[in-house]
Structure 1
């Protein structure tokens, strides 16, 4: 998966420009839900445990993970310095989570390099970088009430790309999700399915070049827009002695109003 934001200003800063909304009900519904949404950087034990429990709650009924007394899903990749775990809150309630790794020479570890290192590492070793979303999970009790929730959660992929300027976006997905990732992120199959513990089903490697794919996608789906301030609050390293905002509000509507 990859995204480049072709706007009046460079995507690394505030995204602007003109965008074709048309009569898209999808765009309108996502923008409305974003008005009730907050993103939270989950970096402490309590926040992370809530994320791990939500993963288990979402995955276990489908048999994607085995039964666990702890009722949590986590792995060693959660603890890496290039790991960014997020909670998505709607009306102050945790409804979804997604994890992002920014992979490069200095931080070469992440789900796609763990599961498909023979495909990804040659590109990383040549100086490319990759933003790698994983562990997307939505509360099964609420998912049906928020049918556009995947767009709200995976918007963080585009916000992350805008901050890091990643070369590639790649992820491990199930077969039944390929159409969604092709449509929304311009992703293509990079390798056939492989096993990927602790997930109990084979996963495929899907991805693409950011600079090629993301511009038309953001024009089509302008809820992916973000300001530089939002990008910084979500992804910038903590400065010594500084406090990270507990929650971050999406800024897509402000970028649309400024276009």
Structure 2
């Protein structure tokens, strides 16, 4: 539940992240479903990884693994005027749907939790077009907004990410993630990875206050993660952050003394 002080902090941070809101108003999220879109994303991923030296060259010039076809996966692209700017892959993980990079690399940590009924969203294969340097900072947040929305939609306990250790400070600072596992190798990648996680009930409010563009409407989440609703909209969703944030902030009651002082100034 947001308080008036939370509202003040969120408004201040919204101004600080005006560039993110500006870009959100220009992009669309696309759930990758057609064979043409899948090939575009896999080639995009391959080029991003090859340019960074993360994978070996292959004749097909695509980067894929078995998790791309798992029944619990959703892959997304962020587009501006038809151009693919970034992509990310999200797995919903529970007792009946255990396929995910996190479970592969850290089974001794995650399997006991799954057996107890704990549920996760595991995000991976986060890639960004290196030619859009001017908006890369904003694009990082806009792309990572997708797993946050997935956590809300699926009402999970934790958000997971198997990431490069060098990126851990970013996830700790902005998403209040904790380190869950030691540094390990990942099959097919030329860098090591580490498991990070955030407890949704604990990090949701501070994350929304710190990063107010993470606000979303239920309608947007359904368009992204409900296959039936997504199909109706041709698997495209426009970000609802600005509208959702304004609605949230306007729902918080202003303290009587603050309202009285504002009236006197007016």
TM-score normalized with structure 1 length: 0.89
Q: 1:30 to 1:199 in 2, by over 3 A?
A: same
Matched, 1:250 2:239: yes
Shift of 1:68: 1.1
In 1, Cα distance between equivalents of 2:42 and 2:117: 32
- 2:153: which partner in 1? 163
Corresponding residue for 2:214? 224
Q: Residue in 2 aligned with 1:233?
A: 223
**Cα pair distance change 1:92/1:22, threshold 3 Å:** same
CA distance in 2, matches of 1:34, 1:182: 23
1:137 corresponds, among 103, 127, 143, to 127
Distance 1:76 1:26, change over 3 A: farther
Counterpart in 2 of 1:52? 42
| Runs of 4+ residues over 3 Å off in structure 1 | 23-26, 143-146
Whole-angstrom CA distance in 1 between matches of 2:129 and 2:116: 39
Following the alignment from structure 2 to structure 1, what is the Cα–Cα distance between the partners of residues 45 and 13?
Answer: 35
- RMSD of aligned alpha carbons: 1.8
Higher normalized contact order (CA 8 Å, seq sep 6+, divided by chain length): 1
Measured at CA, do residues 229 and 7 of structure 1 come closer, stay the same or move farther in structure 2, by a change above 3 Å?
Answer: farther
> Matches of 2:188 and 2:242 in 1, distance apart?
38
Shift of residue 43 of structure 1? 1.4
Q: Conserved in 2, the CA contact under 8 Å of 1:99 and 1:133?
A: yes
SS in 1 for 2:213: helix
Aligned residue pairs: how many? 244
- 1:99 equivalent to 2:89? Answer yes
**CA 1:44–1:185: 2 relative to 1, 3 Å:** same
What is the match of residue 194 of structure 2?
Answer: 204
Greater helix share, structure number = 2
Pick one of 167, 174, 180 that aligns with 1:177: 167
Q: Alignment partner of 2:161: what SS?
A: strand
C-alpha contact (below 8 Å) 1:57/1:140 kept by paired residues = no
C-alpha separation in 1, matches of 2:178 and 2:53: 26
Aligned mates of 1:234, 1:141 — CA distance in 2: 26
Match of 1:90 among 80, 85, 103: 80
**Shift, 1:107, TM fit:** 0.5
User: Which string of whole-angstrom CA distances, capped at 9 and with x for unpartnered residues, describes residues 177-199 of structure 1?
Assistant: 11111112111111111111121
Specify whether residues 209 and 50 from structure 1 end up closer, same or farther in structure 2 by C-alpha distance, changes over 3 A only.
same
Gaps of 5+ in 1: 1-5, 9-16
- What is the distance in 1 between the residues matched to 2:59 and 2:109? 35
Q: Larger Rg: 1 or 2?
A: 2
Contact 1:238 1:244 in 2 (8 A): no
Deviation at 1:7, TM superposition (A): 4.6
